[in-house]
Structure 1
């Protein structure tokens, strides 16, 4: 699963990123999901999760995006001003199932931050 803040703002850092990380684990636990990998970048979230068959993915995403937005707005009042229209997350998300490629996908999610830094370095955005 992959989703982004509205306008892909690079807002998921420091205390906000840590609170989001914690909230995702709590909410997944409440929905009886097992988090296999979770990587929060400044402008997007990667989550590999095992969800029970009774739970729809759209329902899980609705819970994750809705409840985390409320928690973050309540805990960090300054971000409510930055986000347009009181929407924290962008519309939509990406979801795919994992089969044979589980090891590859989990490794990708685990090391996403290193890949992003290297990509930015190659583009000359970092010195």
Structure 2
């Protein structure tokens, strides 16, 4: 029997748990250029590692990002999402002064809502392809 690369093991369990996350910017304003998305991916990858999760795929467009995350059963998706959005918002604000005008009212980059979908129905490879083919902005700046 072959080893499935999507199945992870914990101390007391074996699991293939993936979630497709989508975060949109506040008021769905076009905020991101390629350099913002590149740094956002690095930040979110580090947050996932802190949760013992793996960011399998990341991509985005000017007003939203898609993530495919392989996570252990001990992690609540809502806690992971809260950290991903909170840490990325704070760090992007610190590192990119050009983004500050996009932080609306309560100084938030992201909309309060998000999409979280279980990947049970589609193989992770198909979802990974979908995320890879997002229309990522290629120009360095929006302006």
* TM-score bracket, shorter-length normalisation: 0.7 to 0.9
| Ranges of 4+ aligned residues in structure 1 off by more than 6 Å | none
Q: Which residue of 1 aligns with 2:117?
A: 96
Taking only aligned residues, the RMSD between alpha carbons, in angstroms, comes to 1.5
TM-score by length of 2: 0.74
1:46 and 2:66 matched: yes
Task: Report how far residue 99 of structure 1 moved.
Answer: 1.9
Q: Which has the higher contact order (CA 8 A, sep 6+)?
A: 2
Unaligned stretches of 5+ residues in structure 2: 1-20, 137-143
Q: How many residues align?
A: 114
Name the SS for the 2:118 alignment partner: coil
Assess if the C-alpha contact under 8 Å between 1:21 and 1:40 holds in 2. no
TM-score by length of 1: 0.82
Which structure has more strand as a fraction of its residues? 2
Task: Report how far residue 100 of structure 1 moved.
Answer: 4.0
With 31-40 and 50-59 compared, the bigger mean Cα shift is at: 31-40
Unaligned stretches of 5+ residues in structure 1: 115-127
